[in-house]
Chains A and B, each alone.
Chain A
């Protein structure tokens, strides 16, 4: 019995099928990668829990943003009370450097933070603040920490923070913990 050759299948339309699939995927999918600023919200404070101890004024760096997106930064001063704090109206891009100076004070200036572990940055916004401004400030504050960590990583290991091993990175993270508090919403008006 003669073996019959199987007839070849015409693959000419393969390209059409593949194109069809390709176009389907192009239409139904998005390239959108999820990137953003990660934050952890504080748990709701229960009534029976003791309120946390107050933070020394000099260790507190407050950023207030009102409903017209004006920024007021207040920090420093060792004395008790809020009356003798340094207050400044600033632009969004100035926040980063002010925060960096504040965090990396290490007690040099007695009216600024004791050390980065104690330094707390508090961000307060009004209900009328735009989300764009809020993210911009969040971004600048995060950038302040990133830059400080990078500088420290450069000093210690001559590498960028991101390129360090886990244990090296943790050491620097402990030195500059990212303490940004998003205060309870208030109505600042303005």
Chain B
């Protein structure tokens, strides 16, 4: 009787998933652009201290990282809990730093070598003795541009001290 016949059964039509790949690719590109490859396998505990006056390190390729902290729990039986320095993928002694700075310099182009920055990523529980030793070694190696890595935030996490 009615002019408009219902076609087939009612119910909702299936949602097209044709644009799903596009969405996922978009997410993929977002993550590819905003993140960086994890370069080293961290062997030390690394909770960076908070600071407000921080600057971004501009050129990643000109930055070399030194990690300082107590060995992670799974390595504590082997290496103890005393804070240690990690260069690349292994624990290092203070005397290795000069050599390491030299290798890092060699990897950069000659014109950019003076711009090499050493980023010190130290755990906030580390005592300054080790950091001072590290700084002395860096001075000896003529690597004078350094950066104390920190997380944005109020000092001491906003707690009064």
Query: Are B54 and A131 touching (Cβ within 8 A)?
Result: no
Interface stretch among B1-9, B33-41, B87-95?
B33-41
| Distance in Å: Cβ of A124 to nearest Cβ of chain B | 10
A101 and B79 alpha carbons, distance in the complex (Å): 47
| Distance in Å: Cβ of B148 to nearest Cβ of chain A | 5
Query: Are A135 and B124 touching (Cβ within 8 A)?
Result: yes
Chain B residues with CB below 8 A from A9, complex form: none
Interface digits, A1-30 against B, CB 8 Å rule (1 contact, 0 not)? Answer: 000000000011011011101100110111
Q: Which of the residues A22, A41, A128 comes within 8 Å of B128, measured between beta carbons?
A: A128
| Distance in Å: Cβ of B34 to nearest Cβ of chain A | 7
Query: Are B148 and A40 touching (Cβ within 8 A)?
Result: no
Tell me whether chain B's interface is mostly helix, strand or loop, or mixed.
Answer: mixed
Query: Are A36 and B54 touching (Cβ within 8 A)?
Result: yes
What total count of A-B pairs have CB within 8 Å? 171
Q: Is residue A43 within 8 Å, beta carbon to beta carbon, of the partner chain?
A: yes
Minimum CB distance partner of B55 in chain A: A38
Chain B, interface size category, equals: 35 or more
Tell me whether chain A's interface is mostly helix, strand or loop, or mixed.
Answer: mixed
Query: Are B122 and A131 touching (Cβ within 8 A)?
Result: yes
Chain B residues with CB below 8 A from A33, complex form: 56
Minimum CB distance partner of A44 in chain B: B139
Chain B residues with CB below 8 A from A134, complex form: 128, 131
Query: Are A25 and B32 touching (Cβ within 8 A)?
Result: yes
Chain B residues with CB below 8 A from A92, complex form: 155-156, 161
Sampled A-B contacts (19; CB under 8 Å): A21-B28, A22-B31, A33-B56, A34-B57, A35-B54, A35-B56, A35-B57, A38-B117, A41-B145, A41-B146, A42-B139, A43-B142, A127-B127, A128-B128, A129-B128, A132-B49, A132-B124, A136-B49, A139-B155
Apart from the given pairs A34-B56, A136-B156, 18 other A-B contacts in the complex at a CB distance below 8 Å: A18-B21, A26-B31, A30-B35, A34-B147, A34-B149, A35-B57, A36-B147, A36-B148, A37-B147, A40-B144, A93-B155, A93-B160, A127-B128, A127-B132, A135-B150, A136-B155, A143-B52, A185-B132
